[in-house]
Amino acid sequence: MLLLEVCCCLIGWISLYFAFCYLNGQRSKEWNCRLVTLTHGILIVCLTAYISFIDGPWPLTHAGTENTPLQILALVVSLGYFLFDFGWCICVRTEGPVMLAHHTMSIAGILLALGLGKSAVETCAVIFGSEITNPLLQARWFLRQVGRYDSLWGDAVDLLFILLFALVRVGVGGMMLYCELTSPRPSLIMKGGGLAMYTLAWVFMVDIAKFACKKSRTKYNRWHEMCKLGEVNGHTGKTE
């Protein structure tokens, strides 16, 4: 039954991709794939947020407990998407080894949670933390494509992305990892998977920090040059 559900979800995500390709024929394949990614990100963040914060149980205290039907649904939906996106990335070759490693670990973690019949609660929490920044990442790419990235919108998206990544994926993710490692219920392989995902989050965090420093330096240099130009123009105006 689980295999059938995963196949149906995979077919659903593939169908959505081709629907976007049909509706946006003038756009690139990557544009339409990122629309699928954005759709999954919004959908799964809402679903896993409901599971983690409302439906329960609380992932920080109930790691390793039995899977609930709603948790299984969220995992199946995400597994179908990750299989689609992993296959798309392999065929089109748009992503590097770090992103492919992220997808591979995500697929493996979801399969383990479904196969073991437990630990879906913390897996859903990890998916929530991983995907909460995804819509911002896609918004950044779309802003670049339409020529609006070098604007206040681009700066706002970048700032919110960096803050959310540091706060949720690194900060709250560290708390989640500690609870996972200290709880006696999760299996050893799930603990190892959690450690691997958190290590990968730090790899992303280092790249993000480098990007933030570079962008801040560029913004400062641009502002400094504008100030100098303003002083020169002011001085020229007084002379005249």
Torsion, CA 164, CA 170, CA 171, CA 173, rounded to 10? 110
Its pTM stands at 0.86
Is 120 in contact with 75 (CB distance < 8 Å)? yes
Model confidence over 11-43: pLDDT tens digits? 999 999 999 999 988 888 899 999 999 999 999
pLDDT reading at 113 higher than 90: yes
91: pLDDT confidence band, cut at 50, 70 and 90? confident
Confidence of residue 47 (pLDDT cuts 50, 70, 90): very high
Q: What is the distance of C-alpha 99 from the center of its chain?
A: 10
**Measured distance CA(35)–CA(230) in Å, rounded:** 42
Quick check: 109 pLDDT over 80?
Answer: yes
Section 66-80 average pLDDT? 94
Predicted pLDDT of residue 224: 63
Where is average pLDDT lowest: 14-18, 56-60, 94-98, 136-140? Answer: 94-98
Lowest mean pLDDT among 52-66, 147-161, 214-228: 214-228
Residue 237: partners with Cβ closer than 8 Å, 6 or more residues away = none
